[in-house]
Amino acid sequence: MFSKGFSFAKVIIYIVLLFWSVTVVMPMLWALMSSLKSDQEIFFSPWGLPAQLLWDNFSRAWVKAQLGQFMFNTFAVMLPSLFLTLLLSAMVAYVLARYSFRGKSVIFYLFLSGMMFPMFLALVPLYFVTDYLGLRNTYFGLSLVYVAFSLPFTIFFLVGFFKTLPKELSEAATIDGASHFQIFFDVMLPLAKPGLISAGIFNFLGQWNQFILPTVLMTNEGLPEGQSRYLLSQGLYFLQAKQGYESDLSGMFAAVVIVTIPALLIYIIFQDRIEAGLTVGAVKG
Amino acid sequence: MKQGKNTFILSFLVAPVLLYLVFVIVPYLGSMIFAFTRWKGLSANIRFNGINNFIKLWDDENFWNALSHNAIAVVLLPIVTISIALVFAFWFTQGVRGSRFFRIAFFFPQVMSVVIIAVLWSFIYNPQFGVLNGIIKLLGIKAWESFPWLGDSATIFWCILVVVVWQSIGFYMVLFIAGMMGIPTEYYEAAKLDGASLPVVFFQVTIPLLWETVRTGLVFIAIAAMDLYAMVMVITSGRIAATSRAADVLSTYIYETAFENGDFSYGIAMAVVMMFIILGLSFFTLTSTRKEVLEY
């Protein structure tokens, strides 16, 4: 549609696009540069390059500010939660998509209703439920809560996906004497792999961003001094709030860089998949 | 085989349904009850309180203050974000050169965690070493060069909204690009034959054909505008009260009431109000934007 050659409108378009790119790229470059400076340099020569590269900022952020610990905690919660989210959602979605049984619509609306309410409405009782079950302040407890809140969306996405898979395959497998379980695990689950990957990316980003659930359910109460159960999002907030009285600016910039770089790499490698995974189910067709 | 089928269905449903009931449905239902009680602190002392929590809300200045900020976000975020995202998506699907680079760059904030974004921007807004004031200094605007953007109650919430727009554009842009790719090229070719200019194509071809996706986007961002918890909490370092509540939103006030002050039932009552607002908003957005759907 765009004509070749020069036009006034085109110049405007590129100015806007470049401006927006600068607002995205410049903060990152600035953070990267500041992460290698000393606190004095950050304050007094914000535009200058670091006089010498202070890699020590990074080790301070990783060890002293406990970023490494936060990272470990995050994965200890998210690996089980992602696995279970995908497995349990696939099971429910498969049953809803492929079988008819009494009470099916009840199950359907039960999960649908969970998508309509704000999480804030559940927080207080959730705190007491997990406390009562002895799951508060545990990795696995938080994993289970993540799974429970991820189920509705993931199920609805996968129901649509299982419905598109050919019926003939499972019929053929039934004739061959395969049980319902075998058909699901050996035939349908491998076929659903593209859908599972999209759902996995969606849930990874959603759970990685989760802030209010760990804030309420994961505290350091009862832990000896110097240990922490915080997840990454909480830990960064904690460090940020601490800036007020115990300042380590360069370390904080280093922390921002440490957390951003893996996300950047993963994003550049899986860009198409991530975009598809994130906007999945929101586009017509 | 019939017997096997029922066992199979039951065994697949029991664990997920149980998990979901315990951690999602029970807390939601519990809140609907606790909103009508008086329940403070960790004591088991819960008493029925009728609608008193809601009466108290009506007279609570802080509640209205927080809600007013959500209202600003609910009105402005959809308009600004959706418009910009639509324009970007349109340019990129109409063959702007370098669109791949721009797309990757614009979407990137979406994959950073909200907390990281909030920390980064709190540095950008910092009066002493922040990039924003650095630029203002370079431009030579003396009066503003050490302005405390997040420390001034007149600017703090606007600064936060800018960050939310900055972060969300990418998601809606990609959403709209995906939608625009689904529009058959014949429509564009026909418009081209008629000699339609780009703005005309945008308003008369793209927008009407994309309307369903735009509505979805509007609901998403309206719901997001009712939350904003992580962004506000982190960018203010949790010092909301210190800036005379100028950045308070419903979610932060709920958290403060329930978990910092231990007034559980009152916090829950607010969350119930929040739920009705979100349901009402979704309903309103969907009905007020309903048009005859153009099939293609």
Best B86, B88, B123, B136 residue to mutate vs chain A (most A CBs within 10 Å):
B123
Separation CA B108–CA A105 (nearest Å): 39
pLDDT of residue B142: 83
pLDDT of residue B238: 74
Q: Judging by beta carbons within 10 Å of its beta carbon (0-12, 13-18, 19+), is residue A272 exposed, middle or buried? A: exposed
Separation CA A58–CA A61 (nearest Å): 5
Quick one: three-class SS letters along B258-284? Answer: HHHCCEHHHHHHHHHHHHHHHHHHHHH
The closest CB to that of A282, out of B24, B130, B216, belongs to B216
Best A124, A219, A278 residue to mutate vs chain B (most B CBs within 10 Å):
A124
| A149 domain-assigned | yes
Q: Is the CB of B83 inside 8 Å of chain A's CB atoms?
A: no
The closest CB to that of B27, out of A91, A125, A267, belongs to A125
The answer to whether B175 contacts A282, with C-beta atoms less than 8 Å apart, is: yes
All structural domains of chain B, each given as residue ranges with its CATH number in brackets, are 53-288 (1.10.3720.10)
B125-183: pLDDT as tens digits = 988 888 898 889 888 888 888 888 888 888 999 999 999 999 999 999 999 998 898 88
Q: Count of CB atoms within 10 A of residue A85's CB? A: 29
| A257 domain-assigned | no
Q: Is the CB of B187 inside 8 Å of chain A's CB atoms?
A: no
Backbone angles phi, psi at B40, to 5 degrees: -120, 145
Chain B residue numbers touching A2 (CB-CB < 8 A): 94-96, 198
> Looking at CA atoms only, how far is residue A252 from chain B in angstroms?
9
- Regarding an ipTM greater than 0.85, the answer is yes
The secondary structure of residue A64, as a DSSP letter, is I
The secondary structure of residue A66, as a DSSP letter, is -
Question: Could you tell me the CATH number of the domain that includes residue A96?
Answer: 1.10.3720.10
Q: Is A7 helix (H, G, I), strand (E, B) or coil?
A: coil
pLDDT of residue B70: 96
Chain B residue numbers touching A42 (CB-CB < 8 A): 129
| A231 domain-assigned | yes
| A115 domain-assigned | yes
Separation CA A139–CA A133 (nearest Å): 13
pLDDT of residue A285: 36
The answer to whether B19 contacts A123, with C-beta atoms less than 8 Å apart, is: no
In DSSP terms, B37 is beta-bridged to B48
A178-197 residues touching B, CB cutoff 8 A: 179-181, 184
Q: How confident is the model at residue A284 (pLDDT cuts 50, 70, 90)?
A: very low
pLDDT of residue B224: 92
A142-190: pLDDT as tens digits = 999 999 999 999 999 899 888 888 888 778 888 888 888 988 998 889 9
Size of interface A-B (CB pairs under 8 A): 266
**Domains contained in chain A, number:** 1
Q: Count of CB atoms within 10 A of residue B288's CB? A: 9
pLDDT of residue A17: 94
The answer to whether A148 contacts B19, with C-beta atoms less than 8 Å apart, is: yes
Q: Is B38 helix (H, G, I), strand (E, B) or coil?
A: strand
Range of the domain at A190: 66-247
Q: Residues A167, A169, A170, A172: is their CA dihedral positive or negative?
A: positive
A69-104: pLDDT as tens digits = 999 999 999 999 999 999 999 999 999 999 999 999
The answer to whether A149 contacts B174, with C-beta atoms less than 8 Å apart, is: no
Q: Is the CB of A31 inside 8 Å of chain B's CB atoms?
A: yes
| A119 domain-assigned | yes
A107-139: pLDDT as tens digits = 999 998 888 889 999 999 999 999 999 999 999
Tokens of A141: 């407890």
> Looking at CA atoms only, how far is residue B190 from chain A in angstroms?
12
pTM, two decimals, is: 0.91
A58-77 residues touching B, CB cutoff 8 A: none
pLDDT of residue B3: 60
The answer to whether B271 contacts A118, with C-beta atoms less than 8 Å apart, is: yes
| A274 domain-assigned | no
pLDDT of residue B63: 95
The answer to whether B237 contacts A244, with C-beta atoms less than 8 Å apart, is: yes
Q: Residues A93, A99, A103, A106: is their CA dihedral positive or negative?
A: positive
Cα angle B207, B221, B26 (rounded to 5 degrees) comes to 135
| A13 domain-assigned | no
Q: Which residue has the tokens 């003939």?
A: A168
Q: How confident is the model at residue A266 (pLDDT cuts 50, 70, 90)?
A: confident
Does the pLDDT of residue A3 top 70, yes or no? no
In a structure prediction context, what are the per-residue pLDDT tens digits for chain B, which is 296 residues long? 556 888 999 999 999 999 999 999 999 999 999 999 888 866 667 888 888 999 999 999 999 999 999 999 999 999 999 999 999 999 999 888 888 889 989 998 988 889 999 999 999 998 888 889 888 988 888 888 888 888 888 899 999 999 999 999 999 999 999 889 888 888 888 988 888 888 899 999 899 999 989 998 999 999 999 999 999 999 988 776 666 788 999 999 999 999 988 899 999 999 999 999 999 999 999 888 887 666 66
Does the pLDDT of residue A220 top 60, yes or no? yes
Does the pLDDT of residue A282 top 80, yes or no? no
| A59 domain-assigned | no
Chain A residue numbers touching B24 (CB-CB < 8 A): 114, 122, 148-149, 151
pLDDT of residue B74: 96
Q: How confident is the model at residue A271 (pLDDT cuts 50, 70, 90)?
A: confident
Q: Is B48 helix (H, G, I), strand (E, B) or coil?
A: strand
